[in-house]
Each structure stands twice: as structure tokens, then as C-alpha cells.
Amino acid sequence: MRVASLFCGIGGLDKGFVDAGFDVIWANDFDKYAVETYNANFETPATLADITEYPLEDIPEFDVLIGGFPCQPFSMMGQQKGFEDTRGTLFFRIAEIIDYQIKHRGNKPRAIILENVRALRTHDKGHTFARIKEILREELGYRVFDMNLNSSDYGVPQTRNRTYIVCFANEKVTEFEAPPTCELNYHMQDLLETDVPDKYFLSEKIKKTVLSNGTGGWDAKAETDLPIARPLCATMAKMHRASQDNYVTQEKGLRRLTPRECARLQGFDGPKTSDYIIPVSDSQAYKQFGNAVTVNVANAVAKEVRKKLEETGEWNR
């Protein structure tokens, strides 16, 4: 089953779908460092390009489209400008790509899987989300389903709520439920590295800031050594307060997470493995894992999508 991956980043969605038996034949991102990491880990290299300028005719035919389109326009951490933000309009580029496949290739992709932040559902009082589903349903002709999935329900100790939109071209698909959850068998402390370099430990000066409860009108309790991590964010390198980022205690004192631990919290590695290649700087790695899709969740969705495609006889068509 041929998959095209948009906004692939470092391949969280891609790995989840590949592990479920899908074949990613084309992937794209405009961040050169993310593409560097992606290409160090996947057989089919990602194309480095701005998708808004990339010729539609150069995108090969595909059966399934996946994409974690940029979340900043809808995120609670941003200004929630939605479609007013140029990044928000990238959803319309997704629609153009699908429409081109249908009208110019005679190829209607069998499934579309999109991922974004939970706040997408409530942005602009729900109008943004309604418009997205209207385009997918009315203009492109898909059966559209949506759900909120939390990474901690799929085997990794990280609270990370994300909206998934799953679409099928086959009208026989009348329902699609959230993938079954699984038991969480380990905590954040179980995936920590040992003999961690001194650079990850906090100085007394920065520790005071990190452990403060907030300033001005913003106040939140600083907590460390959580069994289930807070959501990893793209700006982890800046070391926010412990009410925003994750900090753990080891023999040398309090420290931030390492990039490898972030890889484990996002499901790219197991709790004690280090197979995923990280060829970039720590700063870029934190950004990449903070922006990534949790592999475990992507894989759970991919397995359910495959089941539906098998049920409708489209998997081997």
C-alpha cells in the first residue's frame, strides 16, 4: 500500500505506518535538519522542499496520504491564529494534492490520515475543525472520522493528546473507532540513561529559575521526576520551568532529559534501546522530538486503518 507522507518531520507517522506493513514511497519536509534525521533512519529518503511550491505533478501516485500538518496556528502554546496564519493554510495544500490525484491522475487515495493538536477541535469555536471536515467530506468525497488520542494510552509514559482525522474513500466504511488502548508497563524513570554527561545537569543558578512556580500573572506548580512525562515541546532546549518541561533527579542532581530519552518517550526507541539514529545537534534533536508524532500512536492508528482496508478488499487491490 503506497503512502505519501507530508510534513514528515523525523518520521513518527511514517515509522508507525511502515511497522504496520505500509510502504512510504514519498515523503517531504522543508526543514533540512529534520530531513537529515529522517534520511538517516529510512530507506526511502525524504524530499527537502517547500510543499507550497513543489509541483503537484512531481508527487507520485499514492494509495494513502499521511501528515502531521503544522500545529502552531492551532496550538494552545501559540496565538491560535488558525487559517489566518500561513502555516494554517497548509491544510488547503493537502486538499489540493488530493484533488490533483483525483482529477489529473484518476487516482482517488483510499485513505487519508492527518494529525494535529487537540486544540484544533476548539479553535475559533469549532469552526476551523468543521471547515476541515467539510472540505474532506463534501469537496473531496471522503468518509471522515476523528478522535483524540493520548500517547500514555498506547504504551509510552508521556501525556500527549492529539487529534487524528481518518478518512476513507470507500463508502462502505460507516464507522471507525479509536484504536484499542494498551497497558502502560513502564514509567519515565525506566527509560532514563545512565552515566549522563555533566552538560545535562542544571547549575544552581538555572535550577532556581527552573524550580520556580512562575512569575507575574502566570503560576503553575513546579514538579520533577514525574512517572508520566509532560508533553515534549519543540523548545525544550530553552529549559523552561519544571511546570512546563520534564526534569529528573539522578546521582549528580537535577537534570533535563537527553535527546535519547526524548526518542524513547516518543516511541522511536524502546525503553532501553538506542537504535534510532540522531545525527543532529542537541538543540535540533529537542526540536525534532518535540514536534514529532508518537510512533506508538501512529502504529495503533495504522493497524486499524489497515483492518478497514482489508475488510473492504482494498488492501491487495
Query: How does pLDDT run across 104-138, given as a tens digit for each residue?
Result: 999 999 999 999 999 899 878 888 899 899 999 99
User: Which helix (H) or strand (E) segment is 141 a member of?
Assistant: none
Does 222 score more than 50 pLDDT?
A: yes
Q: Name the grid cell of 88.
A: 494554517
Answer with the residue of higher pLDDT: 128 or 61.
Answer: 61
Q: What is the pLDDT of residue 215?
A: 61
Which residue ranges make up each domain of the chain? 2-182+293-311, 188-291
95 pLDDT tier (thresholds 50, 70, 90): very high
Q: Which of 8, 71, 167, 233 is catalytic?
A: 71
User: What are the CB-based long-range contacts (under 8 Å, 24+) for 209-218?
Assistant: 209/241, 210/239, 210/240, 210/241, 210/242, 210/245, 210/247, 210/254, 211/241, 211/242, 211/254, 212/241, 213/241, 213/243, 214/241, 214/243
Does 219 score more than 80 pLDDT?
A: no
Arithmetic mean of pLDDT, 289-302: 98
Task: Give the residue from 288, 283, 305 showing the smallest Cα distance to 66.
Answer: 305
Q: Report how far apart, in Å, the C-alpha atoms of 237 and of each of 72, 234, 282, 283, 291 are.
A: 18, 8, 8, 6, 13
Lowest mean pLDDT among 61-75, 95-109, 255-269, 276-290: 61-75
Q: What is the pLDDT of residue 87?
A: 43
Please name the amino acid found at residue 123: H
Q: What is the pLDDT of residue 83?
A: 39
pLDDT averaged over every residue in the chain = 92
Q: What is the pLDDT of residue 127?
A: 86
71 included as an active-site residue: yes
Q: What is the pLDDT of residue 217?
A: 64
Does 80 score more than 60 pLDDT?
A: no
Does 216 score more than 80 pLDDT?
A: no
Residue 180: how many CB atoms within 10 A of its CB?
Answer: 10
Arithmetic mean of pLDDT, 80-99: 70
Arithmetic mean of pLDDT, 66-84: 57
Quick one: fold of 188-291? DNA Methylase; Chain A, domain 2 (3.90.120)
pTM of the model: 0.93
74 pLDDT tier (thresholds 50, 70, 90): very low
Please name the amino acid found at residue 81: K
Distance CA 312, CA 14 (A): 23
Quick one: fold of 2-182+293-311? Rossmann fold (3.40.50)
Within 13 Å and on the Cβ side, how many CA atoms surround 53?
Answer: 6
Q: What is the pLDDT of residue 214?
A: 66
Does 53 score more than 50 pLDDT?
A: yes
Answer with the residue of higher pLDDT: 215 or 32.
Answer: 32
Does 84 score more than 60 pLDDT?
A: no
Q: Name the grid cell of 6.
A: 507530508
Q: What is the pLDDT of residue 209?
A: 92
Answer with the residue of higher pLDDT: 199 or 131.
Answer: 199
